[in-house]
Homo-oligomer: A and B are copies of this chain.
Amino acid sequence: MVTKPSPLAPLSFPVLPPIPGVRFATMNSGIRYAGRDDLMLGVLDPGTTVAGVLTRSLTASAPVQWCRRALKHGKARAIVVNSGNSNAFTGAAGDAVVTATVREAAQIADCRDDEVFLASTGVIGQPLPADAVARHLPGLAERLGDDHWEAAARAIMTTDTFAKGATRTARIGDATVTISGFAKGSGMIAPDMATMLAFVFTDAAISAPALQKLLRKGADRSFNCITVDGDTSTSDTVLLCATGRAGNKVIKKAGDPALDDFRAQLDAVLLDLAQQIIRDGEGATKFVAITVRGAASDAAAKRIAFSVANSPLVKTAIAGEDANWGRIVMAVGKSGEKADRDQLRISIGGTLITDEGMAVPGYDEAPVAAHMKGQNIEILIELGLDDGAATVWTCDLTHGYIDINGSYRS
């Protein structure tokens, strides 16, 4: 296990204040890790609505398949997360773990089965006994508290080098609500360990369909705009739970103007968590923002940005602090999206490098080279075609990535 925090880690875990209706407990279950908590139970007050976005993988884990069904009901009373074993590709044994865990959690929270949500992260393909998680839940239930946020963030970590949390407040009408969440992930999928997970909570009163629209849109601008290695986990899960305890009048439509501030603050929490995942990217030494403007559409801009962000040649050049813009040209060209060589303008750290199909006459690499030595790299690609725009975030590709992922599982 990597234990030294990423050089891109924030200085400390933020203070996440209690949110009425949200309690957590954590413990060491012994499923995989010794000496640290690896199991988390969250219990939510009755009436809590829930929204979720899940991996698009066609080999999704048993917990993801469960959550996909449970989300239809739109209510959540319990969340159970274990780290160290993803319960993915475990066949009937995996389904048995899900069934036993859901049943026990539903009993504890005194709720329907489909008000229980599960997430598992860790090794793929290692079956667990059916009661591996369930048997610990009664003990956990006795320890629930409203101030265990950092412990919860730590319990869901696998190869993460730091715990990831974020919080904001927002106004809905006369009420002030809090939005807090935590996440894990140090690759789209991490070594054996897998997965990006995020859990966000608010005391706002918002209907499940409205919450789902807010989360879907927010995730598209945050979690769906990051990449470490272009690999997609079998277990990616983001849940957003609203307990309704803040006392605002229940909001039923995602487009309600009363949600304007909430939406902005929610997006800020989601983006903060997503960027922290990149800052913990396996082997990362640089945090890279790639902005594309002037594309044929927003979707085209995002595909071009991802083509650059996922290019091993671009990522290794950044690791080497090399302003190798020719590789950016290559990655734009391979994206399959419309581009005109002679209108393509590439800037790094605010310095325009290419224009009219070639390097800018008299291009001085000195300020760009200085920018490449920093921790935060800004790449701007202007296509000059239309108004499509997108920004995605990634990290560099280093020897650290090979070390972490090339070592044997045992």
Contact = CB atoms under 8 A, between A and B. Distances in A.
A351 to B, nearest CB: 15
Contact of A59 (B231, B341, B397): B341
A276 to B, nearest CB: 21
Interface stretch (A67-75, A178-186, A249-257, A323-331): A323-331
A329 B57 CA distance: 10
A322 B409 contact: yes
B357 A91 contact: yes
A329 B399 contact: no
Contact of A408 (B127, B321, B344): B321
Contacts of A209: none
A58 B338 contact: yes
A312 interface: yes
Given A124-B330, A330-B57, A332-B59, A229 B313 contact: yes
A35 interface: no
B312 A229 contact: yes
A397 B402 contact: yes
Interface string A344-356: 1000000000101
A334 B322 CA distance: 31
A43 B337 CA distance: 37
A320 B405 contact: yes
A88 B329 CA distance: 9
A406 B316 contact: yes
A189 interface: yes
A358 interface: yes
B125 A356 contact: no
Determine how many copies of this chain the complex contains: 2
B232 A88 contact: no
A312 B90 contact: no
B232 A333 contact: yes
Nearest to A190: B313
- Among A60, A317, A321, A339, the one with the most B-chain Cβ atoms within 10 Å of its Cβ is A317
A311 B231 contact: yes
Measured as residues with beta carbon below 8 angstroms from the partner, the interface class of chain A is 35 or more
Interface string A53-95: 0011111100000000000000000000000000011111110
Contacts of A398: 402, 406
Interface in A110-166: 123-125, 127
Contacts of A334: 56-57, 231-232
Contact of A194 (B191, B330, B359): B330
A234 interface: yes
A260 interface: no
A388 interface: no
A50 B320 CA distance: 41
A320 B407 contact: yes
Interface string A214-246: 000000000000000111111000000000000
Contacts of A123: 326
A58 B383 CA distance: 12
27 contacts: A56-B336, A57-B330, A58-B332, A58-B338, A59-B329, A59-B332, A59-B333, A89-B358, A90-B357, A91-B342, A93-B358, A124-B327, A124-B329, A125-B325, A125-B354, A127-B359, A194-B326, A194-B330, A232-B330, A312-B312, A312-B397, A316-B406, A319-B402, A320-B406, A322-B407, A398-B406, A399-B399
